Structure 1
Amino acid sequence: PEAADDATVQAIAQALRAGGKAALLLGGQALREPGLRAAARIAAHRGVKVFAEVFPTRLERGAGLPAVERIAYLAELAGVQLAGIEHLVLVDAKAPVSFFAYPGKKSYLVPDACTVHQLATPAQDAAASLEKLVQALGAAQAQPALQAPARPGRPRGKLTAEKVCKAVGHLLPENAIVIDEAITSGLMLAPFTAGAPRHDLITLTGGAIGQGLPNAVGAAIACPERPVLALIGDGTSMYTIQALWTMAREKLNVVSVIFNNASYSVLNVELERVGAEKVGVKALSQLDLTGPVIHFAQLAQGMGVHGVRTTTAEEFVRALEHALATPGPHLIEAVVPQSLSGLKRKLLPWLLRSLPSLPPAVARALKRKIAP
């Protein structure tokens, strides 16, 4: 594919030189190393922000690569990230919109005063387009900021979703493929794996959940020499649990981690946000996975996959160490409490509504706390 034409590149370069707060929004092919490095040089030279789309198809990340901040799933948090942006440059990405339609809230998340520029469409060469912009801005000699190597310590104590993510960051092998469909349980995955060895991250790319386990199958078949780690919510796993049988049949090197919090947790969060009122017991029961309780390790064993159930961080770390060191498919059931439950879930709507009225620095700090 061809790169962006000269007129487009020059017009965007002129907009970035004019001053004002600007950002690049990367998607698709722009999230591979060449595109990330070019974007990071532009950021170093002009002081622009670099964002990735909410759900990247494939994102190369880890130590030695430029770090990129993903646009938040929750529209209110995305609003904090994009606040004050005057020029938004799309590179193989679409302008951000909210995942659902919410009463009284805009679905189009670009600030009203912001001008949107399209540097490269999906049909164009994103990396080459970014390189042309680097040259136009005179940023070729700028030093891109690169992620330093760093791993979190070994987690201990009662198992939580955060400790699972910490263990993944502690043990993630070089050149791994990470499939993230952990939903609310994966909120801390990004910070705990940012400085891990280089890896690819594959995420949910649309509204239909259940793609995580099949994605792991595809990744393991396409790249048999690379370790594949799939982080999957319990509710979403049940859409395509038969993928475990395929893993066993094809002897695929996949480690599947199922976060068993016995709930469609994200839908409990969304229920109020989409305007549902006076939710009854029957409706709430549709988001509950305790009747009957699902035993994922046993399901895995029944389909020929080595499965183990863990309730402490120590058990989980030992299970992950064994799975990563032993060829073939493995499933680790992580029994964890909901990441957003009780008081946290009750406070979340109030916090989100309050963000526009808070000082920008406070709003950004709250965003980092809720979704790093």
Structure 2
Amino acid sequence: MNGAESLVDTLAGQGVDICFANPGTSEMHFLKALENPRMRSVLCLFEGVCTGAADGYYRMKGTPASTLLHLGPGLANGLANIHNAKRAGSGMVNIVGEHSAAHLKYDPPLMSDIEGLARPLSHWVRRVDGPHTVGWDVATAVAKASEHPGQIATLILPGDASWLEAGNVPALPPVQPARAKAPEAARVEHIARVLRSGEPTLIVLAGRATRGTALELAGRIKAATGCRLATQFFTARIERGAGRVSLERIPYAVGQALEYLKGFRHIITVETTEPIAFFSYPDKPSLLKAPGTGVHALAEVDEDSTAALAMLAEALDATRTAPVLQARAEAIVPSGTLGPATIAQALAAALPENCILVDESLTTGRETMGLTVGAAPHDLINNMGGSIGYGTPVATGAALACPDRRVFCMVGDGSAMYTIQSLWTQAREGLDITTIIFANNSYAILKQEYANMGAGAPGPQALAMIDIDRPRIDWLAMAKSMGVRAAAVDTAEAFHKAMVDSAREPGPALIEVRL
């Protein structure tokens, strides 16, 4: 068994059975080792798709995937979506190929400081010393990636460590990651007193608190105390829709967020921080709470929010209080012009039960998401890191994690062009994904931000850096070229029909929504 075979065998033994790969010359022995029947390898045509897919896989599966990246430049190509994954608390194991140790002294063209590239966005970085240590290194990487919240583990694999014999490598037991701890009882009691006071209180949920038992417990606490429940504007994953506890959404725009938060005397955070502005703006605050509002952390990002909410519900005698659940909105098929309201109506009517909705629609989605809370139960995934080009890769990984669930990915046309290669992987793997591209032929969000920054009215040159209509992107041809069926719509009823039709057939589909 050589080092590469030891690596793949250990990954599979530790429960990591999928690799999103974009290999190069240094990784050929790894590529050979991926023929291991316990490992599924998925080819991606750009490293940002590899890392984004690993993010989406973790968000739905809860266990890390691996990536295979080619040397420093390959890692660099994947860093934007590693950033998004890190912000979302997603775990992944990045295997980065490297030249053999003997070759590095000649400073070959692809030589770079891989550790220097990896460290700012990794929680753990290690360079393999030789084939005999690969197994232990990989097991440690998987354990690190599996912590709560998920961690980014980056393992650098020199070519000679890959091709040299590792000898008889014993099977390693799965390394147990550190378990999330519960908060101190005194902190929980303090927050119980806050909620008993009757003063206006908002609980802001994130991480694992936005789904499952934790979300139900939060609903019981809301029903017992009269507090309100919300999320930050972007959340890694939310279980929402009919029959679930409904969460408000703190607005993105600073002015709207300030107005929303001004009535609360207390903000309780669960696996998140107090609300802050996404960007800094002239003459606008970064902290969004009203003066005098107290902030209380029930569960820090590395703590067990389910245990924390259970302790709080017990302290408030709310464990048997029935939560108020979201009613199913009437499924009205809209007609006429496309806009935030009719788009939301079409989504609410067309989304099938138990689907996954990945949102990178930016301008359009800001208004749409608040109007779809009464849709059939589904999971919503947002971009936590703000680096665009996450949507279609994350949808790809989510579909591989949950092959029995349809994935809908809403993305703006500007964002879609960053990682459009995802469509090819979706077609090759036969994934049940509907990509919805809102084509306004512009980085419309930047037009809003231009005004928010107080830069005045954009002139012709500034507009030329924001509009993407010269030439106009042919999304139908783009999809066809990568093996994805596609349709264009320009009315609300046509949009609804295209979504329903897309879910009736297996495999990927693309809908261009012409705005």
**What's the TM-score once normalised by structure 1's chain length?**
0.87
Return the alpha-carbon distance in structure 2 between the equivalents of residues 213 and 95 of structure 1.
29
- Aligned counterpart, 1:72: 251
Residue 35 of structure 1: CA displacement? 1.6
CA deviation string 1:193-251 (max 9, x = no partner): 21222110001112211101111101011111111000111111111111111111111
- Aligned counterpart, 1:360: none
Structure 2 contact 340–368 (Cα < 8 Å) conserved:
no
Residue 263 of structure 1: CA displacement? 1.2
CA deviation string 1:228-280 (max 9, x = no partner): 00011111111111111111111111000001111111110010211213532
CA deviation string 1:281-313 (max 9, x = no partner): 101111112111112111111111101111222
Instruction: Select between 190-199 and 258-267 the one with higher mean Cα deviation.
Output: 190-199
Return the alpha-carbon distance in structure 2 between the equivalents of residues 191 and 14 of structure 1.
31
Return the alpha-carbon distance in structure 2 between the equivalents of residues 85 and 313 of structure 1.
38
5 Å-filtered alignment, 1:257-276, equals 257-276=436-455
Corresponding pairs, count = 336
Instruction: Select between 219-228 and 133-142 the one with higher mean Cα deviation.
Output: 133-142
- Aligned counterpart, 1:19: 198
Return the alpha-carbon distance in structure 2 between the equivalents of residues 159 and 23 of structure 1.
34
Structure 2 contact 246–325 (Cα < 8 Å) conserved:
yes
SS in 1 for 2:408: strand
Structure 1 contact 177–227 (Cα < 8 Å) conserved:
yes
**What's the TM-score once normalised by structure 2's chain length?**
0.64
5 Å-filtered alignment, 1:290-305, equals 290-305=469-484
Return the alpha-carbon distance in structure 1 between the equivalents of residues 328 and 496 of structure 2.
21
5 Å-filtered alignment, 1:1-372, equals 1-277=180-456, 279-336=458-515
Return the alpha-carbon distance in structure 2 between the equivalents of residues 151 and 60 of structure 1.
19
CA deviation string 1:22-47 (max 9, x = no partner): 11110111101212211111111111
CA spacing shift, 1:332–1:195, aligned 2, 3 Å: same
CA deviation string 1:85-123 (max 9, x = no partner): 111111011111111100011111122201111110121
Return the alpha-carbon distance in structure 2 between the equivalents of residues 324 and 162 of structure 1.
22
Return the alpha-carbon distance in structure 1 between the equivalents of residues 320 and 495 of structure 2.
45
SS in 1 for 2:438: strand
Return the alpha-carbon distance in structure 2 between the equivalents of residues 83 and 145 of structure 1.
25
CA deviation string 1:151-194 (max 9, x = no partner): 33111123335323321111111110000111111234334421
Structure 2 contact 356–380 (Cα < 8 Å) conserved:
yes
Return the alpha-carbon distance in structure 2 between the equivalents of residues 242 and 320 of structure 1.
22
Return the alpha-carbon distance in structure 1 between the equivalents of residues 248 and 440 of structure 2.
27
Structure 2 contact 451–457 (Cα < 8 Å) conserved:
no
Return the alpha-carbon distance in structure 2 between the equivalents of residues 190 and 138 of structure 1.
33
Structure 1 contact 181–232 (Cα < 8 Å) conserved:
yes
Return the alpha-carbon distance in structure 2 between the equivalents of residues 235 and 229 of structure 1.
18
CA spacing shift, 1:73–1:193, aligned 2, 3 Å: same
State the one-letter code of the partner of 1:111. Answer: A
Return the alpha-carbon distance in structure 2 between the equivalents of residues 323 and 243 of structure 1.
17
State the one-letter code of the partner of 1:65. Answer: R
- Aligned counterpart, 1:355: none
Instruction: Select between 307-316 and 130-139 the one with higher mean Cα deviation.
Output: 307-316
SS in 1 for 2:283: coil
Structure 1 contact 151–192 (Cα < 8 Å) conserved:
no
Higher relative contact order (CA 8 A, sep 6+): 1
Gaps of 5+ in 2: 1-179
SS in 1 for 2:424: helix
State the one-letter code of the partner of 2:445. Answer: V
Return the alpha-carbon distance in structure 1 between the equivalents of residues 474 and 399 of structure 2.
25
- Aligned counterpart, 2:157: none
Larger Rg: 2
> Alignment identity in percent?
41
Gaps of 5+ in 1: 337-372
CA spacing shift, 1:68–1:278, aligned 2, 3 Å: closer
Return the alpha-carbon distance in structure 2 between the equivalents of residues 139 and 161 of structure 1.
38
State the one-letter code of the partner of 2:207. Answer: G
